[in-house]
Amino acid sequence: MPASLCGTWEILNSTNLEGYMIALGIGSSMRKIALKLKQHKVIEQVNDKYVIKTLSTFRNYAFSFRVDEEFDEHTKGLDNRNCKSLVTWKGNRMVCIQNGEKKNRGWAHWIEDDKLHLELYCEGQTCKQVFKRVA
Ligand code: ECB
């Protein structure tokens, strides 16, 4: 079993969030707001169901899923698209493919040096984020 992703995490650093948001078609005023936010991740697991919450003072984004089971994702408050999403484990990485209008879109979470790592990618742009555990 990979190290548990569950817990409450606070962002330490982020690279190329701007490029990722441009790839998603987010307008410049919204990008400016988003770049200033201090994001928290809350990852919970109850039986075989996961919940991932991205929290900020401006807006929150949350969804739940089962690993290996495709689900309908609506990225409400982000780019507001509909995706057919699928989360699987690839070694110690929890990876999600978000099939939809945007090509080559998804993310991966993993633990490294007790930190939560996240890669968000879309149409050739990758944003990398690292979070420290706060609870
Ligand atoms: C929810 C906090 C950010 C709100 C930003 C508001 C507007 C900007 C619109 C789109 C920005 C695109 C991405 C922002 C960066 C991260 C948000 C969630 C990324 C994500 O999908 O994380 C995955 C993996 O943890 C779970 O959804």
Determine the pLDDT at residue 1.
Answer: 54
Instruction: Sheet containing 61-66: give its strands across.
Output: 61-66, 49-55, 40-46, 7-15, 125-133, 115-122, 105-112, 93-100, 82-90, 71-74
Is 2 contained in some domain?
A: no
Residues with CB under 6 A from ligand 1: 21, 24, 26, 30, 34, 37, 39, 41, 52, 54, 56, 58-61, 78-79, 107, 118, 120
The model's pTM:
0.97
Ligand 1: atom nearest CA of 17 is 15
The CATH code of the domain that includes 13 is 2.40.128.20
Q: Which domain holds residue 84?
A: 7-133
Domains identified in the chain, total number? 1
Q: What pLDDT does 84 receive?
A: 98
**pLDDT per residue as tens, the chain (135 positions):** 567 999 999 999 999 999 999 999 999 999 999 999 999 999 999 998 999 999 999 999 999 999 999 999 999 999 999 999 999 999 999 999 999 999 999 999 999 999 999 999 999 999 999 999 998
pLDDT of residue 3: 76
